[in-house]
A and B are shown apart, each in its own frame.
Chain A
Amino acid sequence: MSQIADLLAFLFFLAIVCAIRLARDEAGRRRGVTILLLYLVLVYAGLVATRRDAWPFVTHGVFLEPSDAQRPFTNVRFVGVDASGEEHRIDPRSWSPFDERTLDIWWLVNFVRLDPQQQQQALRFMFDRAERARRLLSAGARVGRSHLLGFAAAPKWYSIELPPPAAHTPFAALRVYLVTRTPAKKFAGVSESSQLVGGWPR
């Protein structure tokens, strides 16, 4: 239902823009622009009041939640495993055009909705992507966002974790962990904990 409402909000915006475009005189265009501006004010006010977004009309920035360094923080971590069993964090550029955050959220929200066979197919695909990117990065090639522009490419907006060093040994498997740390405890020297939640091959 919200998808329909968001679409309608955009279509109404388009209709006003078209009305401005088609207005025959300056007075008509001014009226159209005024309606457009009032409409945008209404939409943004509604979104703020209801605490939601309707892209391209957005109200949210980042860091909205109250911070609590005592609260455990969990995220997904994808690692490649080489033939000797050593684990290597997978470079986020492997998932291009998606980013690691998108894939993290997809994993947490949607992965469980797949049946076991579909889950293995998805993980197999991710393994292939990770190994292909590893090969390219290991050879010094550009991957993902930097493919065309190199260092001048716009980063992914959410690039919290620094990219890992390139792994030079081929991956034989993919593992998925839920990594949990409590910031204040980590500051005091307590390391993070990880729980294996998936992998390919199973």
Chain B
Amino acid sequence: MMAKLRKIWDDIWFRPASRIGFTATRVIVACFALWILASRPDLPSATAWPLEFWMPLPRMLLFRFGYFGLHPGIEWVLYGLLWLSLVAVIAGFHTRVTAFAAGLLLYHFAPLESILTIDDFTTMGGLTVPTIAMFAIGAAEPADRPAESTDYRWPVVLTQLLVALSFLLSGITKLTYVGWRWYTPSNIAQAALTYWSLSGRPAALWIATHSYAAWLVALGSAALDSLFVVAVFWRPARWIVVPLAIVAAVVRSAAFGTHWLALPLLLLFVDWEFVFARVPFAVRQPAHSG
């Protein structure tokens, strides 16, 4: 029994894989992080806000994320280094070092835009998955970069799992806070009416006043929260949950005005080995690329 479990475990995390999937994960996650950063080009300027905004914050909170005083000049330099390290990760330049540096700097900068809320780092502008993934990528990159390795698989699966967990854990949290009632059309309709009262978005009002729409949102949410994690380990499920996640993101943006920024990370669920094997102009990854 134990031997069988170990075989399943090894097959999930350590089955030899080609470099293509690992490289695709590295490039997708780093490009996504760069997109978020380019959409917050003035992030370090937060540290130049007057002390009145920072005084009520616990010192330990600032210490936890590496803010030993507020020094905008230093923060701008570090922000530049973060951009450079992500570009280096995309290019595959000394990934063992640059991915680790990118992870540390993401950990430092990602909370900044929400830090004034003290404890509300729920979604962190989409940088949660890249922060953890960078460490995994840096740790897994073999020095000799063979074309196939057992080290290429676990960072890919772990990064996919982190995306999937954002649904599963959110679902579990809904159950612990509200119970099954969260997934009822009545709850969805009332949420939609609340958001409509804030924003006046017609799509929110439409969901609130059409019970079948509220039913669809409730069922879609339940399916996504519970089934997305299956897609990590069973590929056919991706044909269902990935399109469902796209639809859910669009509905959430249009009706509620809350955006799932990690949407581009769904590209992690594409079978890149399959794509590269069939695209005639695809660049083949050399076995030893520096």
Binding site for B on A (CB under 8 A): 3-4, 6-7, 10, 13-14, 17-18, 20-21, 26, 29-30, 33-34, 37, 44, 47-48, 51, 53, 55-56, 58-69, 73, 75, 96-99, 101-103, 105-106, 109-110, 113-114, 118-119, 121-122, 125, 144-149, 153-162, 181-184, 186-187, 192
Q: A48: which of B139, B140, B172, B193 is its contact (CB, 8 Å)?
A: B172
A110 touches B190 (CB 8 A): no
CB distance from B109 to the nearest CB of A (A): 10
Q: Does B194 contact A (CB under 8 A)?
A: yes
Q: Is the CB of B170 within 8 A of A60?
A: yes
* Contacting pair A55 B128 (CB below 8 A): yes
Closest to A120 in B: B52
Q: B residues bordering A, Cβ < 8 Å? A: 9-10, 13-14, 35-36, 38-43, 45-46, 49-50, 52-53, 55-58, 60-61, 63-64, 96, 100, 107, 110-114, 116-126, 128, 131-132, 135-136, 138-140, 150-151, 154, 158, 165-167, 169-174, 176-178, 181-182, 187-191, 193-201, 205, 208, 256-261
Chain B residue at minimal CB-CB distance from A145: B39
B197/A187 in contact, CB under 8 A: yes
A154 near B197: Cβ-Cβ < 8 Å: no
Write the chain B residue with the least CB distance to A44: B169
B123: chain A residues within 8 A (beta carbon): 58, 61-62, 157
Q: Is B116's CB under 8 angstroms from A65's CB?
A: no
The smallest C-beta distance from A44 to any residue of chain B, in angstroms, reads 6
CA distance A39 to B119 in the complex (A): 23
Additional pairs, 8, CB under 8 Å, beyond known A55-B111, A63-B258, A186-B197:
A17-B100, A58-B166, A64-B174, A64-B177, A73-B198, A106-B53, A122-B52, A182-B197
Question: In the complex where A73-B194, A162-B199 touch, is A51 in contact with B135 (Cβ < 8 A)?
Answer: no
Question: Closest approach, in angstroms, between the C-beta of B240 and any C-beta of chain A?
Answer: 20
Min CB gap B78→A, angstroms: 14
Tell me which residues across on chain B come within 8 A of A182, comparing CB atoms: 197
Q: Nearest A residue to B154 by beta-carbon distance?
A: A33
- Contact of B258 with A20 in the complex, beta carbons under 8 Å: no
Give bound CA distance, A151 to B177, whole Å: 37
